């Protein structure tokens, strides 16, 4: 499993992201006012958030499995998937602010989705801080697993429900704005968007799995000493 030549999904990740970069930059996109060429950010900014959701879901599942099996390797997986998820979230946040500067006029306009995704990220950063504040391994794993499940349960309404309940939002699909399927509907955009989501997500899984393996190796080295 650890041999890279045998793990096809890593090659798939590289291929799909390479296709996203070339296809996403060069293939035809609809000519829409205000958005102009920046509609191509759909393949880069939006996919970061999709990747983050998948990675954080995986982290939450590992936390639940840790609580039922008390296996330390599941705890390591939970942290590293959360780490990769937070990285994707921060990238989504910064790319979104850059995009917003040129389409909405300012990097931060207090948009419901901007605010709630910032809160969700802070909740997850608190998870990483919480882990560092506990010294006992078992205790750290158990408490942070419970917190991680809570963090996921808090993130879902923050990202998917509250922004839609808001009166108005600049993000498509929230408030009075047209649905996300506004982009999604179009087949030409879809041809790059779906592979992009899969590619970036797999890349995130790869980074997370590398960190998991490094941590396991270093733990074994400590045991052997």
Partner 1 sequence: MKKLLILACLLVSLQLSAQTEKYEITDSDYSNKKVEMADEMRSNGKIYVVVGVIFLIFVGISYYLYRIDKKVSKLEKEIKTPKE
Is 222 a binding residue for partner 1 by CB under 8 A? The answer is no
Residues 160, 110, 167, CA angle at the centre, nearest 5°?
55
Which of 16, 52, 198, 207 binds partner 1 (CB under 8 A)? It is: 207
Binding to partner 1 in span 155-184, by CB under 8 A: 176-179, 181-183
Residues 6 or more apart whose CB falls under 8 angstroms from that of 88 comprise: 48, 49, 51, 52, 55, 200, 204
Q: How many residues in total does the chain contain?
A: 225
Q: Convert residues 85-124 into a mask of x (bound to partner 1 by CB under 8 A) and - (unbound).
A: ----------------------------------------
Backbone angles phi, psi at 133, to 5 degrees: -90, -5
CB of 142 vs partner 1, minimal distance in Å: 27
Give which of 79, 52, 53 is closest to 66, Cα–Cα.
Answer: 79
Is 217 a binding residue for partner 1 by CB under 8 A? The answer is yes
Residues 6 or more apart whose CB falls under 8 angstroms from that of 38 comprise: 99, 102, 103
d(CA 164, CA 168): 8
Which of 48, 56, 76, 189 binds partner 1 (CB under 8 A)? It is: 189
Q: Which residues bind partner 1 (CB under 8 A)?
A: 2-4, 10, 14, 17-18, 21-22, 25-26, 28-33, 36-37, 176-179, 181-183, 185-186, 188-189, 206-207, 210, 213-214, 216-217, 220-221, 224
């Amino acid at each position: 499993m650890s041999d890279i030549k045998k793990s096809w999904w890593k090659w798939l990740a590289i291929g799909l992201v390479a296709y996203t970069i070339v296809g996403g930059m060069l293939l035809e996109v609809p000519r829409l006012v205000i958005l102009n060429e920046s509609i191509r950010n759909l393949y880069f900014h939006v996919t970061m958030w999709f990747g983050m959701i998948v990675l954080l879901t995986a982290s939450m599942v590992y936390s639940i499995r840790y609580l039922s099996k008390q296996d330390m390797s599941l705890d390591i997986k939970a942290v590293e998937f959360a780490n990769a998820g937070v990285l994707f979230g921060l990238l989504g946040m910064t790319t979104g602010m850059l995009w917003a500067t040129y389409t909405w006029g300012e990097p931060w306009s207090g948009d419901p989705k901007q605010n709630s995704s910032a809160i969700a990220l802070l909740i997850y950063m608190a998870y990483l801080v919480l882990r560092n504040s506990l010294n006992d391994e078992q205790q750290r794993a158990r408490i942070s697993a419970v917190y991680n499940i809570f963090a996921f349960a808090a993130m879902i309404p923050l990202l998917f429900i509250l922004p839609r309940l808001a009166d108005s939002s600049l993000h498509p699909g929230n408030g009075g704005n047209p649905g996300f399927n506004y982009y999604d509907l179009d087949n030409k955009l879809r041809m790059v968007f779906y592979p992009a989501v899969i590619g970036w997500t797999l890349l995130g899984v790869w980074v997370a799995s590398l960190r998991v393996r490094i941590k396991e190796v270093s733990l074994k080295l400590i045991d052997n000493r």
